[in-house]
Structure 1
Amino acid sequence: MGALQEPTAAMGPYRVEIRGESFYLNRIDAPAGVVTQPGRYEVTVPVADAPQIPAALDQVTGHPQWQRWTRPAQGEQPDTSWTLPPDKQGPAADSHWTVTVDGDRLHIRGPWVVHHEVHRNLLGTELGYRDMTELRKSITDATRDLALPAG
């Protein structure tokens, strides 16, 4: 169990729950078609979400728990074995983020497990704190040349 945070206006439909070494990132108002889940480790959201996701990450880095988590040792490689399916069949998630823009869609793939509950219009995932900096950079790099509204 974690600490639910009060969303800021800049976060749009994103919500954060802080935990010990990770956090939950949820998108409310995530009906099918607006959000898609092409695979276990990937999601497609509107490109307009690009400034809202980093705003949610700002809420995480501003929380006291962010300062307390144990940082990986210099050169330590990420371990994504926790992302394997329950039956242990199939590959684990990529250890790095891939973010691409395709028209009005933002495609994000990386070290997480995505759950899209279409019947509840809810998109949810758990992210390790260690993966946040690269996610933010990947989103920023992919959308740098787009005219997006500020969060």
Structure 2
Amino acid sequence: MGACLEPTAAMGPYRVEMRGQSFYLTRTGTPPEARAGRYEAVLPFLDFRELGAAADQITGHPDWARWEEAGRPAPADTSWTLPPDGTGPAAPDDWEITEETADGAHQLRIRGPWIVQHEPGRELWSAEIGYSDLPAFLWLVTRTAYA
């Protein structure tokens, strides 16, 4: 399974590509500080709304319920996040989000079970997130919205 979904207006600069066990979340017009590390991103604070809309698009897709039925693993396993050479730690099992202010900008620092990539020349930021980690991610983003 693989599908690039048509973004909704509520998703702002975010786009989603669904795959078999995970999805790619891409942001256009990304500030350079977005890539903080392999498992960490720094995004504008108000992006929490758009991140929630992107997650809602995935959970609202007809194939969302089928990923686990197809025999794909549901338990937390971040071994897939190891670098290609297999060295270094894997991503953390849980999501962590903190608010910070840097250079007068209110930002979200998000660390979790994903792989973050940044293409500075194209101002693209993307992350691969396993479907089994999406409910906790959505809860965290929603909690941030109401904090």
Same structural fold, with TM-score higher than 0.5 when normalized by the shorter chain? yes
Change (3 A) 1:143 1:56: same
Q: What is aligned with 1:134?
A: 136
Between 46-55 and 133-142, report the one with greater CA deviation. 133-142
Shift of 1:89: 1.4
Partners of 1:136 and 1:144 lie apart in 2 by 13
TM-score normalised by the chain length of structure 1: 0.86
Equivalent of 2:125 in 123, 126, 132? 123
Contact 1:101 1:143 in 2 (8 A): no
Picking from 51, 67, 70, the partner of 1:69 is 67
- Report the Cα distance in structure 1 between the residues aligned to 2:127 and 2:75, rounded to whole angstroms: 21
Aligned residues between the structures:
140
Q: What one-letter code is carried by the residue in structure 1 that aligns with 2:10?
A: A
Q: Is the 8 A contact 2:115 2:128 kept in 1?
A: yes
Identity %: 51
CA displacement at 1:36 relative to structure 2: 2.2
Normalising to structure 2: TM-score of the pair? 0.88
Kept in 1, the 8 Å contact 2:38–2:116? The answer is yes
Give the match's secondary structure for 1:50. Answer: helix
- After superposition, the Cα gap between the structure-2 partners of 1:143 and 1:102, relative to the gap in structure 1 and judged at 3 Å, is farther
Residue aligning to 1:84: 82
Displacement after TM superposition at 1:121 (Å): 0.5
Cross-structure match for 2:23: 23
Kindly state the Cα deviation for residue 16 of structure 1 after the two structures are TM-superposed: 0.4
Q: Is the 8 A contact 2:34 2:125 kept in 1?
A: no
The aligned runs of 1:100-111 (5 Å cut-off) are 100-103=98-101, 104-111=106-113
Distance 2:144 2:23 in 1: 23
Q: Could you tell me how far apart the structure 2 residues matched to 1:129 and 1:70 are?
A: 9
Q: What are the ranges of 5 or more consecutive residues in structure 1 without an aligned counterpart?
A: 146-151
**Matches of 2:80 and 2:136, distance apart in 1:** 19
Counterpart Cα distance in 2 of 1:23 and 1:77 = 17
Offset of 1:94 from its aligned partner? 0.2
CA distance in 2, matches of 1:21, 1:80: 12
Equivalent residue of 2:46, what SS?
helix
Which has the larger share of strand? 2
Equivalent pair of 1:112/1:126 in contact (CA under 8 Å): yes
Partners of 1:83 and 1:113 within 8 A in 2: yes
User: Unaligned stretches of 5+ in structure 2?
Assistant: none
